[in-house]
A and B are shown apart, each in its own frame.
Chain A
Amino acid sequence: MAENPAVSEAFDHEHPADERRSVVILFSGDSGDGMQLTGDQFTNTSAVLGNDVSTFPDFPAEIRAPAGTIPGLSGFQVNFSADELYTAGDSPQVLVAMNPAALKANLGELDSGGILIVNTDAFTRNNLRKAGYDANPLEEENAFGEYELVKVPLTTLTRNALEDIDSLSTQARDKCKNAFALGLVYWMFSRPLENTVRFYQTKFAKMPDVVEANTRALKAGYNYGDTIEAFSGRVRVPSRAVVEPGVYRRITGNEAVVYGLVTAAQKAQLPLFYGSYPITPASPILEGLAGLKNFDVRTFQAEDEIAAMCSIIGASFAGSLSATASSGPGIALKSEAINLAVVMELPMVIINVQRGGPSTGLPTKTEQADLLEVLFGRNGESPIPVVAPATPGECFFYAVEACRIAIRHMTPVFLLTDGYIANSSEPWKIPDVDQIEEIKVGKRTDPEGYQPYMREAETLARPWVVPGTPGLEHRVGGLGKQDVTGNVSYDPEDHEHIVKTRAAKVAQIANFISPLQIDGPEEGDLLVLGWGGTYGAIREAVTRCQAKGYSVARGHLRSLNPFPSNLADVLKRYRRVLVPELNMGQLAFLLQAHYVVEVEKLNKVQGRPFQIREIMEKIEALLD
C-alpha cells in the first residue's frame, strides 16, 4: 500500500485513524510557494470524497511581496466536515507553515493541541530575521508545548525524491515542496492522491517532467507520513451522511456570478455584453466570461471604469443583456453613468465585489462597507434595486435573479457580493438547467400608440425598444423629462412626478421577491439579522446558541432595496435585534431610519470575516 498510495484505502490496520467530525487546516507560505494551489487540491479531494468543504483564501495585494516576510504570506484555510458547513472555521487545528513568517503570523490562531507542521529547511538565519525572530524558535525547549510539532525538512526531502530528474533545475524541483507537503497532509487525513495526480497531468500536460516531479513529490510526502510515524495518529473525517442527491462541484462566488450571467442570457435568449475594467477582487468575472465567447458573450475590457459602465448602457440600449463588475473604488467612478442608466430606465446588472475601503483600502480583503455607496452614492434621487447573495453558491441564483429583475422592471440592478464569498468556495449542487425559469423579454416592435416612457401598470416598467425597430425611433438622455412622452422637461410637476414614479417602480419590486424567512422562534428575545457574506458565521453562531438553550432567531436579507415586505412586521416581534456587519453599522443605520427600531450592532472592520465565536459572544452577552 505504501508503494501505491494513489489507490490506498482510506485507512489501514497499521495506522488506524481517529474519527473527527471536522477539521480546519491552514496552509501558509510565501506567495510564491503555491499555497492557493495546494489548498485548492486538498479541498477538491475532500469534496469529491463527500465532505462538506468551505475555504478562505487570504493573499497579499502585492504579486510578489518580499519573500520570507509576513506581508508576503499567502494563506489558504480549508474546513472539511462530515456535517454541513457554513464557514471556513474560526481557527485551524492543523497549521502547515512553510517558513518562519508563516509560523509567526499564524501560531496564535492554532487551536491548543493542534498539529503544527513546519518546513525546517526554511528556518535559515535570513528567514528568521525577516520574520522578526531573534533566535530559531524550533530550537527552544518547550516552545510549542501545547501543540504537536512535526518538523519536516521539506526542501531536502523533495530534492532527494527528485534527484534524478535532470531536466529540471534545482529551483524548479524545489517548487515541488508544496506537493510533498500536500502528500503528507493527504496521508494524515487518509485522502487518496488520484485527483491531484490527474490535476498535474492536465495542468502541466505539455511538461511531462513537471508532472513526474510533482507526482513523485506528492507520493514521497505520502510515504514519508506512512514511514516516520511522526504523528500521534491519523485522522479520518467521514463523508456526509445526508446530502441532497445530485451532481456536485466546487464553486467560488466569482465563478458562480459568471455562470449566473451566462445562464440569464441564455434564459432571456439574448447575447451577453460584459464591459469591465480590471480590479481586485472582481477581475475573475471578466476573465471567466472572456473564456465563454461560444455562449455569445461579448467581453469588452474598457479603458476605465467609466467607459465600462457607459458601454453596458450602450449595449443595453441596443438590446443586449448587459453587465459590469467592479469593487468600491470603481463603483465610485461609475456613479455618474449609473445615474444615466437610472434615468434611461434600461436593464443592466452592476456587480460590486466589495473590498476593504475607503480609497484603495485593502484590495484583497473583505468588507461590507459599500452598502450605503450603492444605495446613495449618486447625485439626485436615484433608486436602484440591490440584491446580495449570502454564499458562493447563491451568487449563481442571484446573478440570474438580478438579470430577471433588471429586465422585468427596466432598471439597473446592483448585485452586491464581497471578497470573501467571491474567493471562497463551497460544494455546489449543479442545477438542472431546464428547471430554471425563462426570463421573459418583451421588446416592443409595435409603433401603434408608442411613447418612450409609457409604463406597465404592474411594474411601472417602460417598454424596451431597440434601434433597428422601424417606426419607433426615439431619443433618450439624462436631462429632466416628462413621464410617458420622455420629452425634455424642466417643469416642476413633471420632475416631481417622474422622480416619484422611479421610486415607486423600485419599491414595487417588493411584490415580486420572497419574504424574509426566519430560523428559530417566531417571536421572542432576540433576532439576529444579517446580509451578504456573513451568512455562514451568523448561521453557525445562532445554531450553536440555540443548541445551548438560548432563545434566538435568525434572518438573512437578500434584497436590500427594496426590503422584503414582511420586514417591518418581523422586526416588531422581537425585543431586540442584533445586526452583525463587516462595517460600522450600515444595515443597522438603514433599519433605524426605515423602521424606527432600536438595533444592537456588532461591527468588525479588519478586512477579515467574522468568527463564529465573536457572534456567539455577542448573542450570549445580550441574553445573559
Chain B
Amino acid sequence: MSEVVEEKALTRKDFVSDQEVRWCPGCGDYAILAQMQKVLPDLGIPRENIVFVSGIGCSSRFPYYMNTYGVHSIHGRAPAIATGVKSANPDLSVWVITGDGDALSIGGNHFLHSLRRNVDLKVLLFNNRIYGLTKGQYSPTSLEGHRTKSSPMGSIDYPLHPLSVAISAEATFVARTQDNNIKHLSQILQRAAAHKGTAFVEIYQNCVVFNPTAWDHTTDSDVRDDNILYLEDGKPLLFGKDRDKGIRMNGLQPEVVNLSEVDEQELIVHNESEDNPHYAYMLSRMEDPNMPLPFGVLRSVSRPTYDELLLDQVEQAVEQKGSGDLEQLFKSGDTWTVE
C-alpha cells in the first residue's frame, strides 16, 4: 500500500485491456466504457483493487475490456457474486455492470437484496429497453405495445421503472444519466464511486441495432432540453431550453409550470439527501410526455454498509469471546475422559 506513492499516476490507457472490443459499431456501450476508463485514474484507487463483475448480456462483456480484476459471470447473478467479493475483502472497489434484462428480469431478486443490504457496490444498469444479445426480444423495461420479435402484436407487459424499483428496495444512492451525455455521465460515475453503500445508476443506453429510437426524446437536440430535468442539490427543479420551466407541487402531484406565470419561489428545491424516500420516488415516476425525465442524483443518503457491519460483528465477537480457539470450541458442552 505504501509503495503506491512511488508509482506514477495512472492514466486512461492503464485501464484498457488487450482484448478486442466486440460490440456493434455505434453501440452506446463504447461511450460508457471510455468514460469509465477516463474516470478511474482520477479516483486514486490502485488498479489491482478494482473488480468489475457482470452477468450476461451485451453490457456484461464490459469486464473483459477493463484492465482490472473482473468476473463475467452468469445471467442476473452479478450482485450476488459481487456481494461475496466485497464481503471477503472490503478494501476492494467493486463495480457491477448489468442490463435491463439481467438486473430486472432474471436477476431481479439479487438486485433487490443487494440494494436493501447496502453492500458497498457500484451498480451500473445499461437500460436500452430491449434484449440485444439474444437479438431483439422485449425486456422488462420495454414499453407497452412495443413490437419485437417475441411480441409481434406489441408487448402486453407493463414496464418496470428501474429508479423506482431501486428506491423501493431501500437504495441509498440512485442516479440516472445517458451514454452520449459524456460530461454528465462522467460526473455521475464519479459521484457513484464516491458513495459509500450501493450506488445505483441507470444509464440510458442506445442499442443501435434492435431499439435505436428508444431514447430519441432525450438525445434529439430539438427536444431533449424540454425532456430532461437536470437535478442539482439545493437548486430549484428547472428545465427547458431556456430554463423557463419548473416543477412545483399541486396537492399531492408534481406539475410543470412556466416561469413566466409562476414565481421561482414556488418550485420544488432538490434535496438529494432527504432521508424519507417519498420525494426521490416521486421524481423517479416523472415521465414523458407530461413530465421531464430527471437526470442526476435523485437520492444520496448515508447508512452503514453490509460489508462494514459484517466485519464489525467479527471484530465484536473477537472482543467478546476472544480470538477463536479450536480446542476450547471442541470441548464446549459435556465431555468425558477415557483413561
Whether chains A and B associate is yes
Residues of A near B46 (CB, < 8 A) are: 470
> Is B69 interfacial (CB-CB < 8 Å)?
yes
A48 touches B72 (CB 8 A): no
> Is B224 interfacial (CB-CB < 8 Å)?
no
A293 touches B314 (CB 8 A): yes
Among B48, B86, B88, B314, max chain A CB count under 10 A is at B88
Give the residue name and chain of the B residue nearest to A49 (CB). B336
Residues of B near A50 (CB, < 8 A) are: 336, 338
A246 touches B88 (CB 8 A): no
- From B48, B74, B317, A340 is in contact (CB under 8 Å) with B74
> Is B47 interfacial (CB-CB < 8 Å)?
yes
Given contacts A340-B73, A474-B69, A479-B72, contact A468 B49 (CB under 8 A): yes
- From B52, B321, B331, A294 is in contact (CB under 8 Å) with B321
> Is B110 interfacial (CB-CB < 8 Å)?
yes
> Is A107 interfacial (CB-CB < 8 Å)?
no
User: In the assembly, what is the distance between CA of A322 and CA of B84, in Å?
Assistant: 9
Per the 8 Å Cβ criterion, residues 271-297 of A in contact with B are: 271, 273, 275, 292-297
> Is A407 interfacial (CB-CB < 8 Å)?
no
> Is A463 interfacial (CB-CB < 8 Å)?
no
> Is B333 interfacial (CB-CB < 8 Å)?
yes
B81 touches A311 (CB 8 A): yes
A318 touches B338 (CB 8 A): no
- From A195, A292, A322, B334 is in contact (CB under 8 Å) with A195
> Is A298 interfacial (CB-CB < 8 Å)?
yes
User: In the assembly, what is the distance between CA of A250 and CA of B335, in Å?
Assistant: 8
- From A243, A294, A475, B338 is in contact (CB under 8 Å) with A243
B87 touches A298 (CB 8 A): yes
Give the residue name and chain of the B residue nearest to A429 (CB). B338
**Which candidate, B60-68, B135-143, B257-265, is the interface stretch facing chain A?**
B60-68
- Binary B-proximity of A422-445 (CB < 8 A = 1, otherwise 0): 000000001101000000000000
Give the residue name and chain of the A residue nearest to B319 (CB). A294
A467 touches B89 (CB 8 A): yes
A300 touches B87 (CB 8 A): yes
B77 touches A337 (CB 8 A): yes
Residues of A near B310 (CB, < 8 A) are: 298, 300
Given contacts A262-B329, A266-B324, A469-B48, contact A314 B84 (CB under 8 A): yes
Given contacts A318-B89, A476-B72, A488-B64, contact A303 B110 (CB under 8 A): yes
- From B77, B85, B311, B321, A315 is in contact (CB under 8 Å) with B85
A266 touches B326 (CB 8 A): yes
- From A250, A320, A475, B70 is in contact (CB under 8 Å) with A475
Q: What are 7 of the A-B contact pairs (CB < 8 Å)?
A: A293-B316, A303-B112, A306-B109, A314-B85, A430-B330, A488-B19, A488-B64
B81 touches A314 (CB 8 A): yes
Residues of A near B321 (CB, < 8 A) are: 294
A303 touches B109 (CB 8 A): yes
A472 touches B48 (CB 8 A): yes
A477 touches B84 (CB 8 A): no
Given contacts A294-B317, A473-B69, contact A310 B88 (CB under 8 A): no
Residues of B near A488 (CB, < 8 A) are: 19, 64
B326 touches A262 (CB 8 A): yes
Residues of A near B323 (CB, < 8 A) are: 294-295
Closest Cβ of chain A to B26, distance in Å, is: 23
> Is A44 interfacial (CB-CB < 8 Å)?
yes
Residues of A near B64 (CB, < 8 A) are: 475, 477, 488
> Is B124 interfacial (CB-CB < 8 Å)?
no
A317 touches B85 (CB 8 A): yes
A477 touches B73 (CB 8 A): yes
> Is A302 interfacial (CB-CB < 8 Å)?
yes
Given contacts A292-B324, A317-B71, A473-B47, contact A248 B338 (CB under 8 A): yes
Closest Cβ of chain A to B37, distance in Å, is: 13
> Is A350 interfacial (CB-CB < 8 Å)?
no
> Is B82 interfacial (CB-CB < 8 Å)?
yes
User: In the assembly, what is the distance between CA of A304 and CA of B330, in Å?
Assistant: 31
B327 touches A311 (CB 8 A): no
User: In the assembly, what is the distance between CA of A48 and CA of B336, in Å?
Assistant: 5
User: In the assembly, what is the distance between CA of A386 and CA of B73, in Å?
Assistant: 24
Closest Cβ of chain A to B191, distance in Å, is: 23
User: In the assembly, what is the distance between CA of A318 and CA of B48, in Å?
Assistant: 12
Per the 8 Å Cβ criterion, residues 41-57 of B in contact with A are: 46-53
Residues of chain B having any CB pair with chain A under 8 Å: 17, 19, 46-53, 63-64, 66-74, 77, 80-89, 91-92, 109-110, 112-113, 310-311, 313-314, 316-318, 320-324, 326-327, 329-331, 333-339
- From A47, A262, A319, A467, B336 is in contact (CB under 8 Å) with A47
> Is A245 interfacial (CB-CB < 8 Å)?
yes
A294 touches B335 (CB 8 A): no
B80 touches A310 (CB 8 A): yes
B339 touches A245 (CB 8 A): yes
Per the 8 Å Cβ criterion, residues 80-96 of A in contact with B are: none
B67 touches A473 (CB 8 A): yes
> Is A259 interfacial (CB-CB < 8 Å)?
yes
User: In the assembly, what is the distance between CA of A251 and CA of B329, in Å?
Assistant: 12
User: In the assembly, what is the distance between CA of A320 and CA of B83, in Å?
Assistant: 13
A249 touches B81 (CB 8 A): no
Closest Cβ of chain A to B104, distance in Å, is: 15
Per the 8 Å Cβ criterion, residues 465-500 of A in contact with B are: 466-479, 487-488
User: In the assembly, what is the distance between CA of A488 and CA of B47, in Å?
Assistant: 22
Give the residue name and chain of the B residue nearest to A47 (CB). B336
> Is A193 interfacial (CB-CB < 8 Å)?
no
B336 touches A475 (CB 8 A): no
Residues of A near B87 (CB, < 8 A) are: 273, 298, 300, 311, 314-315
User: In the assembly, what is the distance between CA of A88 and CA of B70, in Å?
Assistant: 51
A318 touches B84 (CB 8 A): yes
User: In the assembly, what is the distance between CA of A568 and CA of B89, in Å?
Assistant: 45
Per the 8 Å Cβ criterion, residues 297-348 of A in contact with B are: 297-298, 300, 302-304, 306-308, 310-320, 322, 336-337, 340, 344
> Is A263 interfacial (CB-CB < 8 Å)?
yes
The 8 A-B residue pairs with the shortest CB-CB distance, nearest first, are A314-B84, A477-B72, A295-B324, A310-B80, A311-B84, A318-B88, A293-B317, A475-B70
A249 touches B333 (CB 8 A): yes
User: In the assembly, what is the distance between CA of A263 and CA of B329, in Å?
Assistant: 10
- From A302, A336, A470, A475, B74 is in contact (CB under 8 Å) with A336
A294 touches B314 (CB 8 A): yes
Residues of B near A306 (CB, < 8 A) are: 77, 80, 109-110
A475 touches B329 (CB 8 A): no
- From A302, A315, A474, A476, B88 is in contact (CB under 8 Å) with A315
A273 touches B336 (CB 8 A): no
A294 touches B109 (CB 8 A): no
Given contacts A44-B334, A314-B88, A475-B70, contact A470 B48 (CB under 8 A): yes
Closest Cβ of chain A to B97, distance in Å, is: 12
Residues of A near B334 (CB, < 8 A) are: 44, 47-48, 195, 249-250
Closest Cβ of chain A to B40, distance in Å, is: 12
- Binary B-proximity of A177-206 (CB < 8 A = 1, otherwise 0): 000000000000000000100000000000
User: In the assembly, what is the distance between CA of A23 and CA of B53, in Å?
Assistant: 58
Give the residue name and chain of the B residue nearest to A432 (CB). B327
- From A247, A296, A307, B337 is in contact (CB under 8 Å) with A247
Closest Cβ of chain A to B143, distance in Å, is: 29
Closest Cβ of chain B to A67, distance in Å, is: 31
Residues of A near B318 (CB, < 8 A) are: 293-294, 296
Residues of B near A433 (CB, < 8 A) are: 326-327, 330
Closest Cβ of chain B to A316, distance in Å, is: 8
User: In the assembly, what is the distance between CA of A469 and CA of B51, in Å?
Assistant: 12
B336 touches A248 (CB 8 A): yes
Closest Cβ of chain B to A202, distance in Å, is: 10
- Binary B-proximity of A371-412 (CB < 8 A = 1, otherwise 0): 000000000000000000000000000000000000000000
Residues of A near B74 (CB, < 8 A) are: 310, 336-337, 340, 478
> Is A624 interfacial (CB-CB < 8 Å)?
no
> Is A458 interfacial (CB-CB < 8 Å)?
no
Residues of A near B84 (CB, < 8 A) are: 273, 275, 300, 310-318, 322
